[in-house]
Chains A and B, each alone.
Chain A
Amino acid sequence: MADATNTNAGAHADDATGPVLAADGSPLKSSLNKALRAQKLRALALIAPLLIFVMVTFIAPIVDMLFRSVENQIVSETLPRTVAELGDWDATSETLPDDDVYAALYYDLFIAAEYKNHTRLGSRLNYEQTGMSSMFRRVGRNVGDFGELYLDQFEDLDERWDEEADWAALMAHPGYLEDAAEWRDNRDADRIDPRDTPAPRFRLAPGIADLLPQTAQAYSQYAEFMRTEEQETADEDQPWTLVDTMLYNDLMAASEADIAAYSGPMADALQAAHAAVPEFETATLKELFIESDDEWANLDNWATIKVYAPNYTSGYFLTAVDMKLGPDGMVSQPEDQQIYGLLFKRTLFMSMAITISCILLGYPVAWLLANLPMRSANLLMILVLLPFWTSLLVRTSAWKVMLQQQGVINDVLVWLGVVGDGDRLIMINNQFGTIVAMTHILLPFMILPLYSVMQTIPPTYLRAAKSLGATPFTAFWRVYFPQSVPGIGAGSILVFILAIGYYITPEIVGGTSGTFISNRIAYHISSSLNWGLAAALGTILLGAVLILYWAYDRIVGIDNVKLGG
């Protein structure tokens, strides 16, 4: 600040042609900017803790949540090979995917089932196609048995194919086996905690990856699984039956010369196996899958996997607007499943109705508050604030007692003879009940801004208008009301935005015709666990509010909103 004043004082004020210069000869403008930048940075540093706090605890979680509405990595992460193989398959064709796809599916599902990821994927896909949840649960139980066909035949050939130590000798690097043995000794003697010091990283035996590429890959994955999930080394258990299937594939593909050239451990067993595999009893994985569960021959299931294979999907948003993502692109949901459009419209309509009833009821109260003597105004203020201090559930349940058919209001009406006992009014479990209960709950949010704005309107204006000949109505309408509009604006925005997100009250008193979109969002968050759809619905709701806010700004002007004097 200090040097800014100095340079300012030394500026050449008489230099009329060029830019105004500071004492050091630099243009005054940039010199000033420089000084101001330091000031701004300091101000920023002061609010930085708050800013970071808001970003970390508020903005980031919301963005993260909303981002779920397009996220869909689960399919490609759980079934990477299948998704790649499915690239060539046309989902609109009437033929099933070919054997390669089923082979890739077997590999993916075997690993997913070991890590227990397959049911999670099943639940995800079940949102789109009914029945996929149990299809994946069933296949998780069966997929481990598919490889037994080959395991049994290898075993019959040579007992060593059943021994973990022999498998490890074939597949693992001798260095790894030494490290593993040492680690095991330490673990068994309790010198290390296997979770703090995981087993040594697996290394393949030299050359085996060229000789038996698929087997090597499957075995490496098995070893990694043992290391991270079981806290064991690869040679402590029999490898997965997936490895046996891959060995069969590799041996069928390998040339006799390559196998004969191999001289490491198990060379004789490999040669014998290579000679025997052409005679093996065999089954394609397509047959095995369909035999275990004919849902795998259902084209709709495959189309769903294909359509939801990309990492990002518009599927959730389409569902949120009563559409569906199919193999042919977007289609409308069947009429008997459309619900969200109706609920969005209803939510907006009812929130507006609640806002308007809040204005109608709140305006006179706020006027009274602002114009009564202090003592009575304070008493009235307490009455306005009282509902704030009562539990939301208590207030809503109280409305139930008041409005139900055997409730207080109906009893009084029947007692007065206004309605007959047989046709008591239905005032709850419908839109009317929701509007009444929510107007009551949100009324303070309308009264308080109105009150604080009205307090600043000098009563002398009204008196002046009247003394100039205005009728009381004209004085109010032409003089008082326009000055209170900023309060109405602030109150309306508060009430409307709160109303749009309410779900407890509509759930309790709304019945079927008085529920909001938020009730569906709550259902998808807590019951169906379809967080993607909940996020999409939430994003749309947020968008709708922002558009309305923008429209409000254009029509009324956001400067015209005041929360106080």
Chain B
Amino acid sequence: MKITTALLASTALVVTLSPATAQDMSNEMTIVSWGGAYQSSQQKAYSEPYVEMHPEVTVTWDESSNEAVAKLRAMNEAGNITWDLVDVVAADAIRLCDEGLAMEYDPDDLLAEGADGTSAEDDFGDLIVSDCFIPQIVYSTTFGYRTDMVGDTPPTEVCAVFDLEAYPGKRALEKRPINNMEWALYCDGVAKDEIYDVLATAEGQDQALAKLDTIKDDVIWWSAGADTPQLLADGEVVMGSTYNGRLFSVIVDQEQPVGMLWDMQVFDLDGWIIPEGLSDEELARVKDFVFFATDTQRLADQSQYISYGPARLSSAPLVGQHADLGIDMAPHMPTDPENAKNTLLYNYEFWADYRDDIDAKFQSWLVQ
């Protein structure tokens, strides 16, 4: 009798605690991410603890984030959405939202309050750049340089990239206009807060390309995030742009003679979107997972494995040490005050409009 009562009581407790019962939720979940160190940081910080709490759930990871936009559109046209949660950069999230492929959500409804009690909407603040975008991390695109190839004067500002006399050698830049055009204008004397006004004009675009022209012969253009770390490690380039987390692992994990050039790093965001068109059961499970995986502690946990800043304000004080290496992570975060003295924020609205146009010009300039 006693056992039955205890069972009944505990069942009642569970029912009152979680409004959606397990029966309503799908037990399978396919999460799409970028693979590599980033995905494994998500697995360790989010999905492994979640599965520990919900052993009935199987999580499948798919490494398709770099082509998520096209694949989601194809799935949507075929009427068969096989993904439950997709990790994309903010620009892609905006595109997916525009195309009606991602679900709009209400932050205060879907996401947990901050550990300090602030509402989710305030805790994430401006980082919710689209109605569909659930921010996760802040990363930056910035430069790394070979410490053994720059003599006694390591570069301290981004315009060193355009200074072939002081820093001869090849540079690695991404094969797209975004970020490169901004840096070019900045180093051509355009004030930081006028960059996008200038870039919106045909003359400004020509000015940026003319500036890039001065180093064109010495640039190796990359298209995968792993390229610059490899080029730096092999000594192919003296400096190159890439994501700060990649440089962190070149410097700290692989102990290569590479230094960080944080000046004018471009902040960008990465986060989740929930595809439009999930069934109720799938949606209930995804919502449950997202609520857990974006709370203050979980976002802070992720920074134990990779040097990207958590998107919640309330997570920042909880950033600790690297799980394996035991070093303090805070100085390696792009958001650390020491690193963030001079930064630029990716202008989503601008690039959503001008991406096609400037890309055509940029690619045409590139192949000349």
> Contacting B236 at CB < 8 Å: which of A337, A404, A528?
A404
Q: B263: which A residues are within 8 A, CB to CB?
A: none
Q: List 22 A-B contacts (CB under 8 A).
A: A119-B97, A119-B99, A120-B99, A126-B352, A126-B353, A130-B353, A134-B349, A336-B364, A336-B365, A337-B364, A339-B360, A405-B170, A405-B236, A406-B235, A507-B223, A508-B223, A508-B224, A511-B220, A512-B175, A515-B367, A526-B70, A531-B73
Nearest-CB residue, chain A, relative to B91: A527
Taken together as a complex, chains A and B put the C-alpha atoms of A137 and B221 apart, in Å, by 33
Task: State whether A137 touches B98 (Cβ < 8 A).
Answer: yes
Task: State whether B363 touches A429 (Cβ < 8 A).
Answer: no
Q: A122: which B residues are within 8 A, CB to CB?
A: 98
> How many residues on chain B are close to A (CB under 8 Å)?
35
Task: State whether A530 touches B356 (Cβ < 8 A).
Answer: yes
Task: State whether B234 touches A404 (Cβ < 8 A).
Answer: yes
Nearest-CB residue, chain A, relative to B206: A336
In the complex, A116 has a CB within 8 A of chain B: yes
Q: A429: which B residues are within 8 A, CB to CB?
A: 220-221
Task: State whether B367 touches A513 (Cβ < 8 A).
Answer: yes
Those of A389-412 within 8 Å (CB) of chain B: 404-407
> Contacting B364 at CB < 8 Å: which of A339, A507, A515?
A339
Taken together as a complex, chains A and B put the C-alpha atoms of A336 and B99 apart, in Å, by 29
Nearest-CB residue, chain B, relative to A136: B98
Those of B328-368 within 8 Å (CB) of chain A: 349, 352-357, 359-361, 363-367
Instruction: Give me the 7 closest cross-chain CB pairs, A-B, nearest first.
Output: A119-B98, A130-B357, A526-B70, A339-B364, A337-B360, A512-B366, A526-B67
> Contacting B221 at CB < 8 Å: which of A119, A405, A512?
A512
- Shortest Cβ distance from residue B268 to the other chain A in the assembled complex, whole angstroms: 15
- Shortest Cβ distance from residue A134 to the other chain B in the assembled complex, whole angstroms: 5
Q: B97: which A residues are within 8 A, CB to CB?
A: 119
- Shortest Cβ distance from residue A23 to the other chain B in the assembled complex, whole angstroms: 57
Those of A113-138 within 8 Å (CB) of chain B: 116-117, 119-120, 122-123, 126-127, 130-134, 137
Q: B354: which A residues are within 8 A, CB to CB?
A: 130-131
In the complex, B283 has a CB within 8 A of chain A: no
Nearest-CB residue, chain B, relative to A64: B77
Q: A337: which B residues are within 8 A, CB to CB?
A: 360-361, 364
Task: State whether B220 touches A342 (Cβ < 8 A).
Answer: no
In the complex, B100 has a CB within 8 A of chain A: yes
Task: State whether A406 touches B356 (Cβ < 8 A).
Answer: no
In the complex, A529 has a CB within 8 A of chain B: yes
In the complex, B95 has a CB within 8 A of chain A: yes
Nearest-CB residue, chain B, relative to A131: B353
In the complex, B69 has a CB within 8 A of chain A: yes
Task: State whether B70 touches A336 (Cβ < 8 A).
Answer: no
CB-CB under 8 A for A123 and B100, given A337-B360, A526-B67, A526-B69: no
Q: B99: which A residues are within 8 A, CB to CB?
A: 119-120, 123, 529
Binding site for A on B (CB under 8 A): 66-67, 69-70, 73, 95, 97-100, 170, 175, 206, 220-221, 223-224, 234-236, 349, 352-357, 359-361, 363-367
In the complex, A479 has a CB within 8 A of chain B: no
In the complex, A338 has a CB within 8 A of chain B: yes
Task: State whether B364 touches A123 (Cβ < 8 A).
Answer: no
In the complex, A525 has a CB within 8 A of chain B: yes
- Shortest Cβ distance from residue B345 to the other chain A in the assembled complex, whole angstroms: 17
CB-CB under 8 A for A512 and B367, given A119-B100, A339-B360, A530-B356: yes
In the complex, A520 has a CB within 8 A of chain B: yes
- Shortest Cβ distance from residue B191 to the other chain A in the assembled complex, whole angstroms: 23
Those of A514-556 within 8 Å (CB) of chain B: 515, 520, 525-531
Q: A130: which B residues are within 8 A, CB to CB?
A: 353-354, 356-357
Given A526-B70, A531-B73, 20 more A-B residue pairs with CB atoms under 8 Å apart are A117-B100, A119-B97, A123-B98, A126-B352, A130-B354, A131-B354, A133-B98, A133-B352, A134-B352, A336-B361, A339-B360, A339-B363, A346-B367, A405-B170, A405-B236, A406-B236, A511-B220, A525-B70, A528-B355, A529-B70
Taken together as a complex, chains A and B put the C-alpha atoms of A336 and B368 apart, in Å, by 9
Taken together as a complex, chains A and B put the C-alpha atoms of A126 and B360 apart, in Å, by 13
- Shortest Cβ distance from residue B231 to the other chain A in the assembled complex, whole angstroms: 8
Task: State whether B95 touches A529 (Cβ < 8 A).
Answer: yes
- Shortest Cβ distance from residue B29 to the other chain A in the assembled complex, whole angstroms: 22
Taken together as a complex, chains A and B put the C-alpha atoms of A406 and B230 apart, in Å, by 12
Binary B-proximity of A84-124 (CB < 8 A = 1, otherwise 0): 00000000000000000000000000000000110110110
Those of A342-364 within 8 Å (CB) of chain B: 342-343, 346
Nearest-CB residue, chain B, relative to A129: B357
Q: B175: which A residues are within 8 A, CB to CB?
A: 512
Nearest-CB residue, chain A, relative to B364: A339
Task: State whether B234 touches A406 (Cβ < 8 A).
Answer: yes
Residue with the highest number of chain A CB atoms closer than 10 Å, among B354, B360, B363: B360
Q: A531: which B residues are within 8 A, CB to CB?
A: 73
- Shortest Cβ distance from residue B100 to the other chain A in the assembled complex, whole angstroms: 5
Taken together as a complex, chains A and B put the C-alpha atoms of A103 and B365 apart, in Å, by 43
Task: State whether B98 touches A343 (Cβ < 8 A).
Answer: no
Q: A346: which B residues are within 8 A, CB to CB?
A: 367
Task: State whether B367 touches A343 (Cβ < 8 A).
Answer: yes
Taken together as a complex, chains A and B put the C-alpha atoms of A391 and B73 apart, in Å, by 28
Q: A343: which B residues are within 8 A, CB to CB?
A: 367
Taken together as a complex, chains A and B put the C-alpha atoms of A508 and B175 apart, in Å, by 11
Task: State whether B353 touches A133 (Cβ < 8 A).
Answer: yes
- Shortest Cβ distance from residue B72 to the other chain A in the assembled complex, whole angstroms: 10
Nearest-CB residue, chain A, relative to B231: A404
Task: State whether B73 touches A529 (Cβ < 8 A).
Answer: yes
Q: B360: which A residues are within 8 A, CB to CB?
A: 337, 339
Taken together as a complex, chains A and B put the C-alpha atoms of A336 and B360 apart, in Å, by 8
Taken together as a complex, chains A and B put the C-alpha atoms of A527 and B176 apart, in Å, by 11
- Shortest Cβ distance from residue B283 to the other chain A in the assembled complex, whole angstroms: 13
> Contacting A528 at CB < 8 Å: which of B67, B98, B353, B356?
B356
Q: A126: which B residues are within 8 A, CB to CB?
A: 352-353, 356
- Shortest Cβ distance from residue A166 to the other chain B in the assembled complex, whole angstroms: 30
Q: A406: which B residues are within 8 A, CB to CB?
A: 234-236
Task: State whether B353 touches A134 (Cβ < 8 A).
Answer: yes
- Shortest Cβ distance from residue A409 to the other chain B in the assembled complex, whole angstroms: 14
Q: A133: which B residues are within 8 A, CB to CB?
A: 98, 352-353
> Contacting B100 at CB < 8 Å: which of A120, A338, A511?
A120
Q: B363: which A residues are within 8 A, CB to CB?
A: 339, 520
Q: A134: which B residues are within 8 A, CB to CB?
A: 349, 352-353
